Amino acid sequence: MRLTFRPVAVATAVALAVALAVPAMAQGTVSKSTAGATSSSGQMMTKITTADVAAILDEAGVRYEITTDDVGDPLIVADGTAALVGERLAVFFHDCQPVGCEDIRMYSYYRSRSGVGLDTINEYNKGLRWGRAFLDDDNDPVLELDINATGGIGREALRVLVNTYLSSMNTFAAKVDAP
């Protein structure tokens, strides 16, 4: 049996598909008025600012300093904070414009009491979903996580990712025998 489509049936199906799709698509879009800026918790951000990250660190009880890196991009540095383990936490901001940055890189390094080898790092990476671990040039263990806002990221998603990294710091410190 051969199926044929009548123009009215096709037009009705297309109109119904568009009517159903438009509200669903609108929920995930970034309006021009919020593009490039931070927004309320239900909307998407296309840039990440130091204020966005600082608010999350404040909630977590992390003391930090906001400064700039060698090329003038924002940099958040935290060390000696009771809420953190590891030698230092740095949040590097990349691809920045006046309204914020495209992405951030969270970075922390550790001093192992017993020394740590690549076997330990590789084993940790096998179970690590968010981020990566490696040994730096001084053979100190490092934990990193990149967060990108290209295309949009929700404020809650940013908060969850930063807090996931902060809690991963404790797990990683235990794995590499860091004080």
Measured distance CA(152)–CA(172) in Å, rounded: 29
Residue type, 156: E
Q: Name 71's Cβ contacts closer than 8 Å, sequence gap at least 6.
A: none
Architecture of domain 32-175: 2-Layer Sandwich (3.30)
Residue type, 15: A
The token duo for 152 is 């949009």
pLDDT tens digits in sequence order for the chain, 179 residues long? 443 434 433 333 333 333 333 333 333 333 333 344 444 556 789 999 999 999 999 999 898 999 999 999 999 999 766 556 666 899 999 999 999 999 999 999 898 888 899 999 999 999 888 889 999 998 999 999 999 999 999 999 999 999 999 989 888 988 898 87
Question: How is the chain split into domains, by residue range?
Answer: 32-175
User: pTM (2 decimals)?
Assistant: 0.74
Angle at 147 between CA 69 and CA 120, to 5 degrees: 90
**pLDDT tens for each residue of 27-53:** 333 333 334 444 455 678 999 999 999
Measured distance CA(125)–CA(143) in Å, rounded: 10
Contact 62, 73 (CB under 8 A): no
